Structure 1
Amino acid sequence: MQKTSARLLSLLSLLQTRRDWPGALLAERLDISPRTVRRDVDRLRELGYPIVAVKGPDGGYRLEAGTELPPLLFDDEQAVALAVALQIAVTTGAGIEEAAARALTTIRQVMPARLRHRIDTLQVTAIERPVNRPNPQVDSGVLTALSAAVRAREVLRFDYTPETPPGGTDDDRTEPPPRRVQPHHLVTWGGRWYLVAWDLDREDWRTFRADRITPRTPTGPRFTLRELPEGDVASFVASRFRGSDGSGDWPCRGEVILDLPAAVVSRYTREGVVEELGPNRCRLVLGSWSWPGLAAAIGRFDADIEVIGPTELKDAFAHLARRYAIAATDPPPTQ
Structure 2
Amino acid sequence: MSRLRTERLVNLVICLLSSRRYLTAEKIAATVPGYAHDAADTRAHEAFQRKFERDKAELRRLGVPLETGTNSVFDSEPGYRIARREYELPEVRLTPDEAAVLGAAARLWQHSKLAADAGDGLWKLRAAGVDIRGGEEPDVAPVLTVDEAFAPVMTAVRERREIRFEYLGKTDDASAKRRLQPWGLACHRGRWYVVGLDLDRDATRCFRLSRITGPVRTAGKADAYRIPEGVNLLDHVANFHADVPELPARRATILVAPGRAAGVRRRAEQISARQADGDRLVLTFHDPRRFAAWLAGYGADVTVLEPPEVRKELATLLADIAAKYTETASTRHEVTA
Normalised by the length of structure 2, the TM-score is 0.31
Structure with larger Rg:
1
Per chain length, whose mean CA-contact separation is higher, i.e. which structure has more relative contact order (CA < 8 Å, sep 6+)? 2
Normalised by the length of structure 1, the TM-score is 0.31
